[in-house]
Structure 1
């Protein structure tokens, strides 16, 4: 009976049924060990956790990610709602300029209506460069009847920095 089982499984006849089962179990354990190692590297790359703690940590991490995704979806809906309201003529006034400064890095976002005064991206970039910043990225994106400009720059000399109010003032002169 045992020989028939071994032959039915299509495995080598030199191994007994018990040896084949042990080999499959060993392969399963190795596969599980590899999967837990992969999970550990994603959830807690700095230190290795025992399996029960790893599973608990993974479950809470997944819940945090799910909550973050939901928050981002809600934020996207509200932002798309604002853009949708813009086309319906809401009280949201274009152009909208926002400048964020963090340390020696400054980021500018500008949303303009296509029917408004045309602003060239190189004009915006030149303001940053004239104020002592090195432009790291500059993007222009058309979205329906809106144009979005994004410029990220870093101070050439970090000790001196960049004056965001001066840059904003000069950008407003160009925009309006």
Structure 2
């Protein structure tokens, strides 16, 4: 004859198991969603452990935070440039085997066109072993903004960032 308490214990045990099972399913779905946000679609997702995924997400977030901080600084410099406090600003960011050059120039201080200046930036980068991936410029509020993205021709050699900085600053 079953005791009244054993039935309630087994129901409570099943409820705990169901709650735990649902929690694990939810966590698995959350990690799959995180993986879809962090890991590019062209990479093989097989064999990515949860620890690796969390490490990758952590470094991704830190990288994005650094980029936001850099953009905030660039915004401040752009505002100063608009106010006429600074005529020319150039920033070179080394991101591993890639290089980003951003310049802001008061349009009134340009000796020649923006396109010529952009061409000079590209030539310097090519001469120093950087392959230009993309380049653009635009004028806004009296400020010409140039952006050039490049990568090293040879990843083993890399790009001589300091030398490029020196040569680019000579342009200004």
Shorter chain as normaliser: what TM range? 0.5 to 0.7
**In the alignment, does 2:109 pair up with 1:109?**
no
> For residues 99-134 of structure 1, what are the alpha-carbon distances to aligned partners after superposition, in whole Å with 9 as ceiling and x for unaligned?
111222111110000001235211111111111110
**In the alignment, does 2:155 pair up with 1:158?**
yes
Distance 1:77-1:41 versus aligned 2 partners, 3 A rule: same
**Structure 2: which 5+ residue stretches go unaligned?**
1-25, 37-47, 50-63
Aligned to 2:83, which of 65, 83, 88? 88
Q: Give distance in 1, aligned partners of 2:119 and 2:94.
A: 21
**Structure 1: which 5+ residue stretches go unaligned?**
1-35, 48-67
Counterparts of 1:20-99 in structure 2 under 5 Å?
42-43=33-34, 45=36, 83-90=78-85, 93-99=86-92
Secondary structure class of the residue paired with 1:115: helix
TM-score by length of 1: 0.53
Distance 1:41-1:152 versus aligned 2 partners, 3 A rule: same
Distance 1:76-1:125 versus aligned 2 partners, 3 A rule: closer
Distance 1:133-1:143 versus aligned 2 partners, 3 A rule: same
Distance 1:143-1:165 versus aligned 2 partners, 3 A rule: same
Distance 1:98-1:81 versus aligned 2 partners, 3 A rule: closer
- Higher RCO (C-alpha 8 Å, min separation 6): 2
Alignment partner, residue 145 of structure 1: 142
Alignment partner, residue 171 of structure 1: 168
Aligned length: 123
Q: Give distance in 2, aligned partners of 1:160 and 1:135.
A: 16
